[in-house]
Structure 1
């Protein structure tokens, strides 16, 4: 069962496998030299590690240039900057334009939290070719993620079982089992990654980014944050407002919400996306294969999920498609309008007793490859969220909140409400109710909200603008569907973002693209 905050951006890191490690570097070094003086050794990138999702080494860029990888050393504990260090994995594509036009590095974080930037940036690198004309494109595995001292919890076989559990208990026995499984998962995280768990807060990652800025040789951090990456960017701007260069926040996390409020907002957001999906299918000139009306589409999905709660159907052998896996798969497909055809196909097949497509979508969300190996996105996501978020919710509290969540979303309400127990038995206390992103004195930050975003609802963009403080943020609205705006390839959005990042031209506040 995913932590509800996982639904922020995990889809971005898993798109390339829709249908188709250990604590390395932690502990041994104790250095007195200035970490900003280190020189990075850039080499051709290896194939991604299992913790990063596996697969082949990144293909060369269209002009033949190769992606380069390096490891940056950072303090394990930022309160002890001369203590033990960890290695942070970086990836870059050098600027393609004339050297005298180069601005610097543009650092990306694609969200999660828990997504590997080292694998995601090369997978989507062509989408940022225009930005590469004046920037080195750079991303990284944040601390606790992938090859950056990745948090490890349960084994692949244990995760298979974990994701097969009933995440929406209907009785005392199911509730007891859910809580026991959650406690077992959290205990495995403590056993296997005890040293890292207190060191993966977003404030730690923000300090890593400022070290990265200096090691890369940049006076300012030029930054492109997506989903959770907007929260990380906001925290960075709060800690280092004078070091912010040209920054874009896309698919914006509401920084004013507690984890409970965020989960409730996501329930509303995913319900809106489902409504839009159903309307789209039934409004086409050809017959919608999964319902006659939008309400019929949603009623049939609800009926399917209720049936799966009692009797799962064959999924990807030997696993069965459970109610939880199906719900997870539906959520994954709602991240992008490009995925809606897969959702239609998956539902059509599930109604005939075949759960392969919905299970493949669910596997994609959970970071499971076709060979049954999991990336560490779930472990890292839970570790980062639980280190950040102070509230700890009990099962009794969740049950009190179920009516409110069900009103927000008949389909996703229970699923997201019960996800709030994820951090209940966590070994490390959470830092705060919500992040501080106030950034007086920062350079302008372009904040892009999508009216149809399921995972980071549109209202969060305005909340981020207000929280950053007067005179800092400029809001742009995209009237579209899916998680994020720039990757929709909308010309208006891309023109505004490119104009700011490449030429420093800030669009007019309140600009609307459709």
Structure 2
């Protein structure tokens, strides 16, 4: 499949999809003299999420029976014309559970993607933040271009099925042409159906929305928890508004120093490491590993499966077949979290017997497709945000030149991630920069957590983010574990350090290592 410019889907978004119409943009004609910082939010019971948000069920009540509340915040469509047209930013919150005199403020979450709906993701994992809720209102949002916040829409569900069936690792000129044509067709559809919002979905726009959100929620400082791409968003916010940073935590950290090509290359190594760790884990158990006798045998059998699927797909979820690209998507999805490794084992066993259902289910989770065949707008929003942020535009020649390096970094995923670089071909909006600026001199300390086994945001990004934020700002904490992110691992050292900082203001010692 033609992948997003950079595959940054957060593990929490993936988990929500595993557990788990027509939508018009939230627009209005706000009077030009209205002070948006003075607007009052109308909180009410949350509506049933739309398919574009990636869920079809209203959030379950909180512990104790409290209900989640939703509201819409008005923000400028174009931050360079703050008195012009506005859009609606969908918000969700759980009010603080502790005494009012102990409440600190609102803790805003962004779970990554980019393109993930915070309105559906926060309730799915709200139980993990029960401790934080004692002193904060837990708040998340659909960033502009996502979910209910003027979503980027490109192709319809049937067309997206066709889009994701295209071979994402072409082997000859005809397949390369098909991939490029498919990418151009998708991007042209985005411009045709979402041209109004496309110029306004950069990370800098979302950061300015968050500062407006901070003011509307009544906080002097921004209290923030960013995961995966949410760390990049938080870093950009800190750069733009260093004096307004309160207590902030970055988990599963995007490396802000890399170009898209360098980031994809690092991800190739990250997913290869995760596959190596999976194979080692499976073959080191007392019982026999059902997908291989040795670590190398596990990887060799997976590689053979992918080669076989290139020649002859197998039945997946009717009426679709499991192709090589869909199987690769499914494997990548399962490597996001150690909790998914059992699904990978089951899926591989099934596929070796000629049944591709589990791997296709995992693939659908990665691409945002539900069991009814409806797609969220995760991928369109991901492409739109990345292509608006990233200045480079890669060609087939660029990919072919760099394929040897990608294959060396990852025999399994090198081609897959290298070809994903052409995702911004003929994109309607020019990219902003080679990489984000997150320098934030004068900001309050930001806890930056790196996971040594993270496949999607490799560990090396954490120290680089800490350094880029500036001396005295980035405070690095290392978790020696597996999966995308650390706080959701349940490791008591990590959760203890994060909770102590966010709740009590106790900054962990720089260089702390949790095992």
Shorter chain as denominator, the TM-score bin is over 0.9
SS in 1 for 2:138: strand
Deviation at 1:17, TM superposition (A): 3.3
Say if 1:477 and 1:513, in contact at 8 Å, map to a contact too: yes
Q: Please give the residue correspondences for 1:163-182 in structure 2 after superposition, counting only pairs within 5 Å.
A: 163-182=164-183
Per the alignment, residue 58 of structure 1 pairs with 59
Q: 1:89, 1:147 within 8 Å by CA — same for their partners in 2?
A: yes
Cα offset for 1:16? 3.0
- Aligned twin of 1:136: 137
For 1:185 and 1:473, the matched residues in 2 are separated by 39
Give 1:10 deviation, angstroms. 4.0
SS in 2 for 1:18: helix
| Cross-structure match for 1:303 | 304
Match of 1:505, SS state, is coil
What per-residue deviation string (whole Å, max 9, x for no partner) do you get for residues 152-199 of structure 1? 000000001111110000000000000000000000000000011100
Match of 1:14 in 2: 14
CA–CA separation in structure 1 for the residues paired with 2:451 and 2:14:
21
1:460-488 deviations in Å (ceiling 9; x for gaps): 00110111011111100000000000000
For the 8 Å contact 1:23–1:151, the answer to whether it is kept is no
Q: Deviations over 1:220-246 (max 9, x none)?
A: 000000000000000000000000000
Q: Is residue 187 from structure 1 mapped to residue 208 from structure 2 by the alignment?
A: no
| Cα distance, 1:9 vs structure 2 | 2.6
Map of 2:256 onto structure 1: 255
Mapped partners of 2:171, 2:11: distance in 1: 28
Distance 1:320 1:482 in 2: 28
Post-superposition Cα deviations, 1:23-68, rounded to whole Å, max 9, x if no partner, equal 4123644431110000000001111111101311001001100000
Is contact 1:27-1:76 (8 Å) kept? Answer: no
Structure 1 segment 113-512 matched on structure 2, within 5 A: 113-512=114-513
Q: Evaluate the alpha carbon distance shift between residue 2 and residue 52 of structure 1 in structure 2; reply closer, same or farther with a 3 A threshold.
A: farther
Is there any run of 5+ residues in structure 2 with no aligned partner, and where? Answer: none
- Determine helix, strand or coil for the equivalent of 2:405: helix
CA distance in 2, matches of 1:333, 1:10: 12
Output one character per residue of 1:484-505: Cα deviation in whole Å (capped at 9) or x when no partner.
Answer: 0000000000000000000000
2:78 match: 77
**In 2, Cα distance between the equivalents of 1:160 and 1:136?**
39
Looking at structure 2, the residues matched to 170 and 101 of structure 1 have their Cα atoms a distance apart, in angstroms, of 61
1:11 Cα deviation (Å)? 3.7
**Residues in 2 aligned to 1:2 and 1:181: alpha-carbon distance in whole angstroms:** 7
Q: CA RMSD in A?
A: 1.0
What is the CA distance between 1:126 and its match in structure 2? 0.2
TM-score, structure 1 length as denominator? 0.99
Distance 2:194 2:30 in 1: 18
Q: Contact 2:4/2:379 (CA < 8 Å) preserved in 1?
A: no
Equivalent in the alignment of 1:513: 514
Deviation at residue 13 of structure 1 after TM alignment: 1.6
Q: Runs of at least 4 residues of structure 1 off by over 6 A?
A: none
